[in-house]
Chains A and B, each alone.
Chain A
Amino acid sequence: MTAVPTIAPTAGTATPPRREKRRSIANLERPGVFVYGILTAFILASAFPFYWSYLVASHDANVFADTVPPLLPGGNFLANASRVLDTIEFWRALGNSIVVSGTVTLSVVLLSTLAGFAFAKLRFRGRGPLLVFVIATLAVPTQLGIIPLFIVMAELGWTSSLGAVIVPNLVTAFGVFWMRQYIVDAVPDELIEAARMDGCSLIRTFWHVCLPAVRPAAAMLGIFTFMTSWNDFLWPLVALSPEDPTIQVALEKLQAGYFIDYSLVLAGTTMATVPVLIVFIVLGRQIVAGIMQGAVKG
C-alpha cells in the first residue's frame, strides 16, 4: 500500500460554508488533484476483480487458462448465463437468499441498535460486565460451532427450514458493539433528555431520537450483515433442505466435476452479485447522506 504522508490538501483553502446549515468538515477544504489521484487508484483496485469476473464470464472456459486474460469482454455472457439458469434453480435460490439476508439484515440493524442504545445511553445494573461479555463473545472462533449448532437446530426441528439459517443470526455481538460505540457520541444526551422531558418512554425515545440519528452507522451495519449472510456457505449447505438452498449453495453446483468451467462459475457469481449491488447502492446512499438529515442537535 502507498504510504500516505499527507492526509488532506493544503490548509487554508477553506471555502465559505455552503447553503446547508450543518455540514461537517467536508466543506472546509476542497481536495486537490493529489487526493483524487489516490482515490482513483483505490477505486480501480477495488473494481478490477469485478471486471475480471465479467471478462471470464463473457468468454468461454478455455480463456481462463490463459495467463494474461483478454482485456475486453467477449460475447458469451448471455450464453453462459442461460447455462447457469439451466443447471441450477437460480431464481428460487436467489429468492431464498433475499429472504434470508433481508430478514437477518433488518433484524440485526434494529436489535443491535436497540441494544447499542441501551449500552450507550441508559444506566442499568450490570451494564459494564454485560458489555464486556458481548464483546468477549466476538473472540470465540466459530468454525467448530457448526456441529453443535446443528445438534441444537435438529433438536428444535428447525433443520431444512430457512429459520435454521435466519434465527442464529438475528442479532450479532459485532452489531451491538458497533452501534454502541457509534451512539455514545453521535446521539447527543441533550436530545434524549428533551424527549424524556416530553414524557417519551424509552422505546419511543429510541424510535424517534436514536434511530434517526444513527442512519449512517446502521447502513454500514446493514451492508456488512447482508454481505456476511449472503456469502455464507457451509452452514446453509448443512442446515437447509437440498431442494430449497440459498444462492451460494446453489452456485456451488456449478463447480461439479474435475474440470471446473470458470466461465460458467463466474457467470453465476456475476448474476448473483446484481441484487447485492442494488442493496449496496440503496444503503450506500444512507451512509453518504450523513447525520444531518436525521436528528438535529441544538
Chain B
Amino acid sequence: MRHRSSRWVKVLACTAALAATAATTAACGSSDDSGKTADGKIELTLATFNEFGYEDLISEYEAAHSDVKIVHRKTGKSDAHHQNLYTKLAAGSGLSDVEAVEEGHLSKVLARSGQFNDLKEIGPSGLDTNRWVKWKVDSATDKNGHLIGYGTDIGPLAMCYRKDLLEAANLPTDPAAVKDMFSSWDKYFAAGERFTTAGTGKAWFDSGAQIFNAMVNQEEQGYYDKDDKLVVTSNPVIKEDWNQVTSAISKGLSAKLPFGQPEWTTGAKNSAFATKTCPSWMLGVITESAGPENKGKWEVIDAFPEGGGNWGGSFLTVPKQSKHPKEAAELAAWLTAPEQQVKAFSTAGTFPSQVEALSSPELQAMTNEYFNGVKAGELFAKQAQAFDKAQYKGPASGQLQDEVFANALQAVEQGKSSDEGWTQAVENAEKVAK
C-alpha cells in the first residue's frame, strides 16, 4: 500500500509541477544528480547539529581521500536538524549522505529503520562493533538486528551538587557521605526532604521530569515491551517511579524549572536548586548558566542513584537515499573511530562512546576548574562503564519521555494532583503511541 500511495504522490507532484511549468525543463522521475562534483570527485554530504567538532577531521579525511569532497551541513539546534531530517525522510529525497541522529530521536528513527542502511552490511568489513561501549551499539540496533547508526558521543550520568547549600542545610558534605546519599533513589529523596525541611528556601532538584526520566531509563523495561506494545499502565515500575517523584514534588523538593528553558538558567544563577542529574556535557551548561559568582560552589561526584545512566549523545546514520552509501559509511566509520573521537572531544567536548577513547590519556587528564578542579574526564569515563544495559525503546519512546511525561510532571508542578497528572500522561501516551 505504501508503495502504491507514494507512486500516486509522485505522479501527482509531477503533474502539478509540469502543468505549472510546461515551459521549463522539469525532468520528472529522472533526476540525474549523480552526487559528483565537476572535477569527478565523489561529493559526500554530512549533516550535524550543535557542535560535533568535525571541522578539522573533515579536512584530514579529504586530504587522505583525494577523490572525496565533503559538504558539511551544520544546524544549530537539535530540533531544527531533526525537523529537516523527518521532512526529507517523508518527502523521499534531499537527505545528506551521513545524517546525525540524537539519542532522543533514535526511537523514532528506528521505527523508520527501513529507510536507513544497515551499517553491518555496507560498512567497512573489518569494523569491530566492540570498539563502542556495548549499550551504545545495542541502542542503535533495530529488531531485525540491523545496525542503523555508529555511535559518536555519549552523556554518562553523575551527580552535581551545591556543597555550600548542603552545608547550609546541615547535610554531610564529605565525599563518602555524599556518595551514600546518592546511592539509591530512596536515600536521594530522603536527603531531599531533610534538605527542604532545613528551611534554606531552596529546592533539592531542578524539575521532576529530570529525575523521573533517569529513573525510568534504569528500569528493565520502559514504556514499551519488545513487541512495541505500550506498557505504561501494565508495567508497574512506571507508576511506582511516578508516585515517588510526584510525592517529592508535593513535599517541595522541586524548583519547578524545566531544563532547557530560559528560567532554568536564571534559576541556576540564583541558586534555586541544590542537586542536578549531570551528564558530562552538563558541566559546561552549569558553568555558563550559574556564572562566575557561583564558581567553586558546585561539585560533581562519581555517584548516581541505582548505578548510572546516560543522557544525550548521537549516532551517524546513512539513509537509503544516499547515492554513495559505501563511501558514506566509510566516512561515518572513520569519524566514529576512537582516535578521531578523542580529537573531537578535545575540540568540542563531546564525550566519546568508544572504549579505547575512554581510557585515552587526553580524556583521563581532563579537569574542570569551575568544579574545583575535579578530574572530570576520569570521573565520567568511570560513570560510562558503570552503566551497561540499553533499555529497549519503542517507536515513540523519545516523545513519551520528552513530551508526554515531562509535560504531565510539569502540570503536577503547576498544581495538578498526582492522579490527575497520571491520567493526563496515560491518555497522551496512548495517543502518541497509537
Residues of A within 8 A of B (CB): 61-62, 64-67, 146-148, 150-152, 154-157, 159, 233-234, 237-238, 242-243, 252-259, 261
Contacts and interface: CB of A to CB of B under 8 A. Distances in A.
A243 B73 CA distance: 7
B84 A237 contact: yes
Query: Which of B13, B47, B73, B260 has its CB near the most chain A CB atoms (within 10 A)?
Result: B13
B94 A156 contact: no
Given A157-B31, A234-B83, A258 B77 contact: no
A243 B37 CA distance: 15
Nearest to B26: A156
A67 B91 contact: no
A251 to B, nearest CB: 8
A121 to B, nearest CB: 27
B105 interface: no
B102 to A, nearest CB: 12
Interface string B51-86: 100000000000000000001111111001001100
Nearest to B83: A234
Interface string B274-306: 000000011011001101100000000000000
B353 interface: no
B157 to A, nearest CB: 15
B281 A258 contact: yes
A253 B74 contact: yes
Contacts of B281: 258
B26 A256 contact: no
A62 B291 contact: yes
A252 B77 contact: yes
A64 B88 CA distance: 36
B74 A150 contact: no
A202 to B, nearest CB: 24
B96 to A, nearest CB: 8
Query: Do most interface residues of chain A lie in helix, strand or loop, or is the interface mixed?
Result: helix
Interface in B239-284: 260, 262, 265-266, 268-270, 281-282, 284
B87 A146 contact: yes
A151 B74 contact: no
B76 A154 contact: no
Interface string B1-42: 000000001100110110001001011110101000000000
A155 B26 contact: yes
Given A65-B265, A66-B266, A238-B83, 13 more contacts: A62-B292, A147-B90, A148-B9, A155-B28, A156-B24, A238-B88, A252-B77, A253-B74, A256-B50, A256-B51, A257-B284, A258-B281, A259-B285
A252 B91 contact: no
Contacts of A156: 17, 21, 24, 26
Contact of A65 (B83, B90, B266): B266
Interface string B340-363: 000000000000000000000000
A147 B92 CA distance: 9
B288 A256 contact: no
A234 B81 CA distance: 10
A107 to B, nearest CB: 16
Interface residues of B, number: 51
B235 interface: no
B38 to A, nearest CB: 15
B24 A64 contact: no
A150 B284 contact: no
A62 B269 contact: yes
A252 B26 contact: no
Contact of A151 (B51, B91, B260): B91
B10 A155 contact: yes
Contacts of B74: 242, 253
Given A148-B13, A259-B265, A242 B93 contact: no
B49 interface: yes
B289 A259 contact: yes
Nearest to B47: A242
Contacts of B21: 156
A247 to B, nearest CB: 13
27 contacts: A62-B291, A62-B292, A64-B265, A147-B90, A148-B13, A148-B91, A152-B16, A154-B94, A155-B26, A156-B17, A156-B21, A156-B26, A157-B31, A237-B80, A237-B83, A237-B84, A242-B47, A242-B71, A242-B72, A252-B77, A253-B74, A253-B75, A256-B50, A256-B51, A257-B50, A259-B285, A259-B289
Nearest to B93: A154
Closest 7 CB pairs of A and B: A242-B73, A259-B288, A253-B76, A256-B76, A150-B91, A65-B269, A255-B76
A150 B71 contact: no
B11 to A, nearest CB: 10
A215 B228 CA distance: 61
Contacts of A254: 76
Nearest to A63: B291
Nearest to B96: A242
B275 to A, nearest CB: 18
